[in-house]
Amino acid sequence: MDLKLEVVVIPVPDVDKAKEFYVDTLGFRADAAFFGPDGNEWFLQEVAVRAPGR
């Protein structure tokens, strides 16, 4: 059986800082960004990033 880790959820207090760290510092690729209802980022904001080479 071949098991792979596909998704890891990491709650952060500042999504913009976290995205900057993973994309600009670690070189991850930003795949998608999702906002809550009516673009309200305080309700829910999700950013999907992918490790380099993936």
Q: What is the pLDDT of residues 13-45, one digit of tens each?
A: 887 888 888 888 988 888 777 766 665 555 556
pTM: 0.63
Q: Are 23 and 29 in contact (CB under 8 A)?
A: yes
Q: Is 8 helix (H, G, I), strand (E, B) or coil?
A: coil
DSSP letter string, 20-50: HIIIIIT-PEEEEEEE-GGG-TTT-EEEEEE
Q: Are 49 and 30 in contact (CB under 8 A)?
A: yes
